Chain A
Amino acid sequence: DAKTTQPPSMDCAEGRAANLPCNHSTISGNEYVYWYRQIHSQGPQYIIHGLKNNETNEMASLIITEDRKSSTLILPHATLRDTAVYYCIVRANNYGQNFVFGPGTRLSVLP
């Protein structure tokens, strides 16, 4: 799987948009970009994933650059409950293939 690079930490004011970047310059054509988050010591939680088009769901939006070498996860109106470690993972779309978690970005939403 391609490796990803994320900033170790970010702050965001409550109610503002949180934009979390991820670089994945060696991504292959069949690899998707997945985002997970881990609140405190809970199990990682799936947020969103995409291949090349931008995606949006009830939790977040995912913007993938045209060359697919980087992406941004957007939490449109961050709340204190969004404080977590956010993981960007690139992975082929294969059932059964494991996810490799890096150190992620620790997002702190400040009141």
Chain B
Amino acid sequence: EPEVTQTPSHQVTQMGQEVILRCVPISNHLYFYWYRQILGQKVEFLVSFYNNEISEKSEIFDDQFSVERPDGSNFTLKIRSTKLEDSAMYFCASSAGTGRGTGELFFGEGSRLTVL
């Protein structure tokens, strides 16, 4: 069964460093998302991406965050200068955009970011 894959599974970084989290969405999906979950808290929406541009973003997704689809398969989340409060599990998700289906999201297993 096709799945969303994410790398790295865990990254430890120093405050102020740049981090790039990578995702390979399901191959025929057209919509891509990043969510995050701070330990013990809710799953929070960050950004959605379609047709090579951001379609929606939350208040969390400020100028320190950016997303990119550098090639036909990868979808990345970059945090330019990490803060302690960026420590969280980051989930990538994708959804189909054509044909049958109602837009349900398929999530990856997550990348745990620890900022020291």
Interface residues of A (CB under 8 A from B): 32, 34, 38, 41-46, 49, 87, 93-103
Contacts and interface: CB of A to CB of B under 8 A. Distances in A.
Interface of B: 4, 30-31, 33, 35, 37, 42-45, 48, 50, 55-56, 89, 91, 93, 95-97, 102-110, 112
Contacts of B30: 95
Q: Could you tell me the dominant secondary structure of chain A's interface residues?
A: loop
Give the interface centre of A43, A45, A96 by most chain B CB atoms within 10 Å.
A43
Contact of B91 (A44, A49, A97): A44
Contact of B103 (A96, A101, A102): A96
B103 A94 contact: yes
Given A95-B30, A96-B97, A98-B56, A46 B45 contact: no
Contacts of B35: 101
Contact of A42 (B55, B96, B102, B110): B110
A70 B46 CA distance: 28
A49 B107 contact: no
A97 B56 CA distance: 8
A92 B37 CA distance: 23
Give the interface centre of A34, A45, A96, A103 by most chain B CB atoms within 10 Å.
A96
